[in-house]
Amino acid sequence: PCCRRYVAGGQCKSTARLEGKVVIITGANTGIGKETARDLAQRGKVIIACRDIAKAEAAASEIRAETGNQQVIVKKLDLADTKSIREFAEKFLAEEKELHILINNAGVMLCPYSKTADGFEMHLGVNHLGHFLLTFLLLERLKQCAPARIVNVSSLAHHGGRIRFHDLHGEKCYNRGLAYCHSKLANVLFTRELARRLQGKFQRQAGFTANALHPGSVYSELVRHSFVMTWLWKIFSFFLKTPCEGAQTSIYCAVAEELDSVTGQYFSDCQPAYVSPRGRDDEIAKKLWSVSCELLGIQWD
């Protein structure tokens, strides 16, 4: 029915091949990450970077069987632990000579208050800081292999977010719904500042881009931490995208030929979408960048 078609939203029409190219997708053992991996595995080599190796292997073998592509590889990555992120990057750089597309897809949502191994609030730590560090560690390899793309999965929820520099880790005041919104705003600001830094001579010559996206409201495991949301998701599942429909904009940002030189943008349903005023604030973006570097103990100029 047309209502269902409307819910499904935009579809990635690109048939671009990725022969000889390498894609990393974080959190690709379930939900939209898995569907993104399934699609891209029909085009080229995919590395599934996940915390749960057993789940990731199950997803990878299903995708290998379905696509006939044996180049679907699982590597361990726990975004809630900077040691694990550094180990993943070190191992990847030693084993793989190429990297063309990095899809920062993994995320947590509505967690009860908790901290990462490094003492970061869980939403900010996994959704923003973990991917910030991962991107930093893989950036040189992406540059060497340009044209390259970085795709950050954000959310419409960024409209409800603000970067609370005075209480980044929610120690004074914590609301798990808002914590998710804050982290998704951080994704948008990170993308914006990253694109700005990649621009200039290098980006124009090489087509090195960074874009963010809203996948849509997707029926997936992401709401598992909330009984109420899980219940609502079940009731309204007809009005939610399937993971396959939700993956379309990620796939679009990763492969669509018309985005070869488009950078620093935010997409939804495979087209440019409205970004909140806070998500367009360059001063906050710059400040978040330097605070993130400080927290992670890195120098990224």
pLDDT (average), residues 92-98: 97
Quote the CATH superfamily of domain 15-295: NAD(P)-binding Rossmann-like Domain (3.40.50.720)
pLDDT of the residue at 155: 94
**62-69: Cβ within 8 A, 24+ apart:** 63/34, 63/37, 63/38, 66/38, 67/38, 67/41, 67/42, 69/41, 69/42, 69/45
Per-residue confidence band for 228, with pLDDT thresholds at 50, 70 and 90: low
The token duo for 227 is: 């009984």
pTM: 0.94
pLDDT (average), residues 11-24: 95
Contact partners, residue 197, CB within 8 Å, separation at least 6: none
pLDDT (average), residues 87-103: 98
pLDDT of the residue at 225: 58
Per-residue confidence band for 235, with pLDDT thresholds at 50, 70 and 90: low
Per-residue confidence band for 221, with pLDDT thresholds at 50, 70 and 90: low
Per-residue confidence band for 230, with pLDDT thresholds at 50, 70 and 90: low
Please report, for the chain, the start and end positions of each structural domain, with discontinuous segments joined by +: 15-295
pLDDT (average), residues 180-185: 96
pLDDT (average), residues 125-136: 98
Residue 276 burial class via C-beta count within 10 angstroms: exposed 0-12, middle 13-18, buried 19 and up? middle
The answer to whether 6 is a known catalytic residue is no
pLDDT of the residue at 243: 85
Which alpha helices (DSSP H) does the chain contain, by range?
A: 2-8, 31-40, 53-67, 82-95, 122-123, 131-144, 176-198, 201-206, 227-235, 243-246, 248-255, 282-296
What are the DSSP calls for 7-29, one per residue?
A: HH---------EEEEEEEEETTT
pLDDT of the residue at 1: 58
Task: Tell me the chain's radius of gyration from C-alpha atoms.
Answer: 18
Contact partners, residue 44, CB within 8 Å, separation at least 6: 17, 18, 19, 20, 21, 22, 23, 71
Q: What percent of the chain has pLDDT over 90?
A: 81
Residue 227 has pLDDT above 90, yes or no: no
pLDDT (average), residues 244-269: 96
pLDDT of the residue at 138: 98
- CA 133 – CA 182 distance, rounded (Å): 18
Considering 113, 180, 252, 274, which one is annotated as catalytic?
180
Residue 4 has pLDDT above 60, yes or no: no
Strands 18-26 and 101-104 turn out to be: parallel
How does pLDDT run across 25-79, given as a tens digit for each residue?
999 999 999 999 999 999 999 999 999 999 999 999 999 999 999 999 999 999 9
CA 165 to chain centre: 23
